[in-house]
Structure formats: structure tokens, C-alpha cells
Amino acid sequence: MQRNIVVEDIISISTERRDVEIVERKGIGHPDSVADGLAESVSRALCKWYLEHYGRILHHNTDETQIVGGQASPKFGGGTVLEPAYILLVGRATTRVNGERVPYRTIAIKAAREYLQKNFRNLDVDEDVILDCRIGQGSVDLKAVYDTQKFLANDTSFGVGYAPMTETEKIVYNTERYLIGELRDRYKAIGEDIKVMGFRKGDTINLTVAQAFVGKYVDDKDHYLNLKEELTSLLTDNAIKYTEREVKVMMNTADIPEENVFYITVTGLSMENGDDGSVGRGNRVNGLITPYRPMSMEAAAGKNPVTHVGKLYNIIAFKIAEECYEAAGGDIEEVHVRIVSQIGKPVDEPQVLSIQVIPAENVNTSRYKQEFESIGNKWLDSLRDGKVTDMIINGEINVF
């Protein structure tokens, strides 16, 4: 198949060599990430049900989940949820097949409950949240376009990816992963609502970490301050594994100890106390928000994983960029990939797949053109053969 794949050099300074860089990650407990996680879990559950009963994934998009924050009264040694957070599962799905109704709302509510129970250990799903499902019947026109046998793009949209990750990006991403993984296992007081902002100026990386603490595991003010100091030290030690630059870590900088203002929660989640969330307002598909990089504003979570290019193209753009960078073995400093679709045309035949490279000094990258085109073709083929779809459904690819 002849596809429009364009490989070109660009004149630019790689992000790693720029003087300033900003990187953010919203952790899995941030309200926007909670919305993403719920939307994606509902989509995966619908995919599995459709496959089991009809042998194919039917039209659906569940990418409009909304979270309305509740009210809570946290305190050292405990606290109370006064008003549950309200979670609205919104989107479209195939609700009838051959006149038979699909239990789509039951599927959605069950998937959402299981996601919350699995990921947020101090959240009482029965008491602390209200789950409401208003997923409805999809548009007839959209469903006509959405046909897995025709395999047509459901939208005119684009996906963006890049490689490699900079040191700052690795540190920001892995700081949240470290907190939510190894450290959460060691410290019960760590809540899941975490945000990490990285700011690099020259050879100094500043990390500002917002870490929700669970009040029932923190005895008093001194205990809180000791925990914060200990975690800050551990995060610094972890960060320097990824860089030789100077790293400064600051945690919960809005605390005012003399006024007894601290970041403590009942559930470990800020959505318990007024913080709202929406799908697509947080991390891109690589788990980061990177204003110094090319980005797509698509909300990938919850979109169907068969023909929704806003999801698929962003995923494979990063895969293509990563493979191209590795294939060049140091001859290129940075790769940017952009893919644009046209509604009604085959998903694996984009209008263009653009691969832009920043060459290393005195390197002629023309010898990689054919190899990069081959990498692009391979990942476009993986859309048609269902490889990427299967990886998404099985949870092998995250989208936030």
C-alpha cells in the first residue's frame, strides 16, 4: 500500500538543549485523571462485552465523564466526608442490536465502581461518591461512518508524538509513579491525588509536588511535617537517578503551618472537597503535559479504540517517534511525528504521516528515510490488523 509518509529534517534546538523547560503530570487521583480513568475503563468494558456477544466492537464513545467535587472535613487522625462527589458517566454507545437492548448502563456503572475500588484505597465507593450514568444512543450518521469492516476514520483529526523523553520529563513522570507505587506501599498517609510540576532553568530542575495526605494516618502537625520532609528527601534521591543536573524538590508549598493550613484529606482525593474534573483536561497519552513540545488537545480516554483517530493516531505517533529515535542510534536528537486523518477515509490511510527529525551535529539523516517510512507503515498496519486495539482493550497501553 502506497501511503503519504513524509520524512524531513528540521532546523531547531532540541528540547533537552533549551534553556527553559516546563513539564507537568497530573497523578491518577487528580480529578481530571480520575475522569480519564473512568472514561477509559467504561470504554474497555463495553468493548469486551460487544466482542463477547457480537464478535466485534460496536460504536461507542465515553469520553465526556464529569466529576463534581463533594464536601469533606478532614483533620489529623481522621475526618469526615460530608457530601459525596458526583460522577457523571456521559457519552454514546450502541444500545440496541437486532432489536435487543444492550445493558450498557449496567456495564458502565460496574466498570466505574471496579476502577475506583482498585485505584483509590481510602475511597468508600458506596458512601463517598454518587455514580450516575447518562450514556445514550449514538448519532445515526456517526454510526454509519463507524463500521469496523469498512474501517473508516470517524473524524478529521490529528495525532502528535515525539521522542525521546527529556530528563525533566522522565523525572516528573517517575516522581508520581514512585509516590503511587513503592512509597504508597510504605506510607499509608500517601493519597492518590498528586500533581508534579517540573521547571528546568539551565542545569537546575525544580519540582513542585502537590501530595494529598490521608488524615487518619497523620497524628498531628509535627507528624505531617516530618512525613513531608522525609518524602521530599526520598523524591530528591529518586530524581537524581535520571540526571546529573541539580534537582530541588518542594512539596505542598501552599501549607501555612503557623495557621494550621495543611494538605490533608479524608480519602486521599481532592475531589472530596470541591475539586472538579473532566476528561481530556489533563495528561496527554504519554502521561505528561508538555508545553515545550508539539501536542494534540484530543481527549483520548474513552474514545473507541477501533476507528477514533483522536485516540489511535496519538498513541501510534509516540510509538513511531520512539522507534525512529532508537533506530537512528544517536544520529538524531529529537523526532516529531504528526498524523492527520480525513473523515470517511480508511484509518490506516491518513492524509499524511509527517516525521520530522532534528539531526545530531554533522549527521546526514537521509539514509534513515526508508527505515523511518517502514516504521510508519508498520504502525499504520497495526491499526488495521487490530494489534493496537487489542493492546488498548487489554490495558497494555495507557492513555493518560
Q: Which amino acid is it at 15?
A: T
- Cell readout for 91 is 457519552
- Is the confidence at residue 146, as pLDDT, over 70? no
Task: Give residue 138's pLDDT.
Answer: 62
Task: Give residue 250's pLDDT.
Answer: 98
- Cell readout for 232 is 521530599
pLDDT band at 142 (very low <50, low <70, confident <90, very high): very low
CA–CA distance, 282 with 388 (Å, rounded to integer): 22
CA–CA distance, 174 with 318 (Å, rounded to integer): 18
- Is the confidence at residue 86, as pLDDT, over 60? yes
- Which regions of the chain carry the CATH code 3.30.300.280? 5-14+155-165+291-393
Mean pLDDT confidence for 367-371: 96
Task: Give residue 140's pLDDT.
Answer: 45
Taking the domain 31-145, which CATH number applies? Answer: 3.30.300.10
Go through 297-324 and write b for each residue having 16 or more CB atoms within 10 A of its CB, e for each that does not.
ebbbbbbbbbbbbbbbbbbbbbbbbbbb
pLDDT digits (tens, 9 = 90+) for 168-180: 999 999 999 999 9
CA–CA distance, 136 with 95 (Å, rounded to integer): 7
pLDDT band at 148 (very low <50, low <70, confident <90, very high): low
Q: Would you call 184 exposed, middle or buried from its count of C-beta atoms within 10 A (0-12, 13-18, 19+)?
A: middle
- Is the confidence at residue 373, as pLDDT, over 60? yes
Choose between 140 and 175: higher pLDDT. Answer: 175
Share of the chain above pLDDT 90, in %: 91
CA–CA distance, 44 with 392 (Å, rounded to integer): 8
Task: Give residue 392's pLDDT.
Answer: 96
The angle at the Cα of 211, spanning 125 to 197, to the nearest 5 degrees, equals: 120
Task: Give residue 151's pLDDT.
Answer: 83
- A 10 A CB-CB count for 232 gives 18
First-residue to last-residue Cα distance in the chain: 32
Task: Give residue 144's pLDDT.
Answer: 55
Taking the domain 167-278, which CATH number applies? Answer: 3.30.300.340
- Which regions of the chain carry the CATH code 3.30.300.10? 31-145
The continuous run of DSSP H or E covering 23 comes out as strand 20-26
- Cell readout for 4 is 503519504
- Is the confidence at residue 139, as pLDDT, over 60? no
Give the strand pairing for 92-93 and 60-61: antiparallel
CATH C-level class of 5-14+155-165+291-393: alpha beta
| Nearest residue to 262 (alpha-carbon basis) of 191, 183, 182, 174 | 191
Give the strand pairing for 92-93 and 136-137: parallel
- Which regions of the chain carry the CATH code 3.30.300.340? 167-278
Give the strand pairing for 136-137 and 277-278: unpaired
Mean pLDDT confidence for 114-129: 97
Task: Give residue 137's pLDDT.
Answer: 83
* Structural contact between residues 62 and 331, judged by C-beta atoms closer than 8 angstroms: no
- Is the confidence at residue 288, as pLDDT, over 50? yes
* Structural contact between residues 13 and 163, judged by C-beta atoms closer than 8 angstroms: no
pLDDT digits (tens, 9 = 90+) for 292-340: 999 999 999 999 999 899 999 999 999 999 999 999 999 999 999 999 9
Give the largest Cα separation in the chain, rounded: 68
